[in-house]
Amino acid sequence: MNKTILITGASSGFGRLTAEKLHKAGHKVFGTSRNPDEHQTEFELLQMDVTNESSIDTAVQQIISSVGKIDVVINNAGILMIGPIEEHSVDDVKKVMNTNFLGAHKVLKHVLPHMRKAKSGRVINVTSLAGLVGTPQMGIYSASKHALEGYTKTLSYELEQFNIDVVLVKPGEYKTEIFDNAFKTSDEISDYGNFKNKVTDASSTGPKAPAPEPVADLLFKAATMSKPKLHNRIGPFANVIPLLQLFPSVLKKVTKKSFNI
Ligand SMILES: NC(=O)c1ccc[n+]([C@@H]2O[C@H](COP(=O)([O-])OP(=O)(O)OC[C@H]3O[C@@H](n4cnc5c(N)ncnc54)[C@H](OP(=O)(O)O)[C@@H]3O)[C@@H](O)[C@H]2O)c1
């Protein structure tokens, strides 16, 4: 059966690819962007800034007036900030948390009343493998994804009674615009210079990362299959991370080695 699907951050990367696949499969897709006029898409692209509640309200109302329901919401919009934690200003930390964590909550505050009323729905939150383990130079990003991970696990208990599925999709690093758009530290501290160079040289981000299609395939499945799992990891280290989490000292050694620190 065709579904009505809202996917935030559909102007590029995972969001755009997933929205295209869902649209081609015949679903009614509403993607979002802060600047929809700057992008051409086959699916409908609504204006939404997940940090701005009135824009969320307007977009959700548009969908409800035209289709009457939202079957699936994919909280995908996100930003990356790179650099050692001490170099980040409090305002920059707020910006990341407001987008990656509070943004999803704001969207759900507007979508869940419609799903509860319909006694049916699905929430898919895009977190990250960096939401499971600490990642050098991505501390605030990692914190925002840990927050969304914990939030979503609790949500799954609370929404089951309303027949609303809750799904976490946790990708490793894939080549999307997120690395080009990432913003860097605002207060450079020279003591971190050597550390930053080492981590940057060893990192598999940006051009070295794999193409994002497998993540869009997983999001497509999560949105359309009848009984999705809560936890869905994908990426080169996806299978080994839960095992390493059982042995924190080994996890630390492996992480240090892979980041050359
Ligand atoms: N790429 C990776 O390696 C990777 C790994 C793990 C998890 N993730 C997660 O996957 C999700 C998608 O990222 P991506 O890699 O596909 O990055 P991307 O290509 O940069 O796409 C990010 C999307 O988020 C939107 N966005 C950013 N800030 C927004 C805001 N305040 N309000 C509304 N939309 C906003 C952007 O749209 P506009 O600029 O048009 O508004 C864009 O469509 C993110 O949550 C990211 O953290 C990515």
* pLDDT tens, residue by residue, 191-213: 999 999 999 888 766 667 899 99
Identify the residue whose C-alpha is closest to ligand 1 atom 11: 76
Phi, psi angles (nearest 5°) of residue 238: -60, -40
CA of 193 to the centre of ligand 1 (A): 28
Instruction: Walk me through the domains of the chain, giving residue ranges and CATH numbers.
Output: 4-258 (3.40.50.720)
What DSSP element (H or E) covers 81? strand 81-82
What number does the ligand 1 atom closest to the CA of 34 have?
Answer: 41
H or E segment and range at residue 73: strand 72-75
Predicted local distance difference test score (pLDDT) of residue 207? 67
Q: Stretch 143-154: mean pLDDT, rounded? A: 98
CA 43 – CA 85 distance, rounded (Å): 38
**Burial (Cβ within 10 Å: 0-12, 13-18, ≥19) of residue 88:** buried
CA atoms of 63 and 29, how far apart (whole Å): 10
Q: Determine the distance separating the centroid of ligand 1 and the alpha carbon of 9, expressed in angstroms.
A: 6
5 forms bridges with which residues in the sheet?
Answer: 29, 72
The 10s digit of each residue's pLDDT in 169-178 is 999 999 999 9
Question: 168: which residues sit within 8 A by CB, 6+ positions away?
Answer: 124, 125, 127, 149, 152, 153, 230, 231, 232
Q: Please give all residues whose beta carbon lies within 6 A of any atom in ligand 1, as ranges.
A: 8-15, 33-35, 48-51, 76-79, 99, 126, 128, 171, 173-174, 176-178, 181
Nearest residue CA, atom 38 of ligand 1? 33
pLDDT tens figures, 94-136:
999 999 999 999 999 999 999 999 999 999 999 999 999 999 9
CA of 14 to the centre of ligand 1 (A): 8
Distance from the CA of 250 to the center of ligand 1, in angstroms? 31
Cα distance between residue 246 and residue 147, in whole Å: 20
pLDDT tier at 186, thresholds 50, 70, 90:
confident
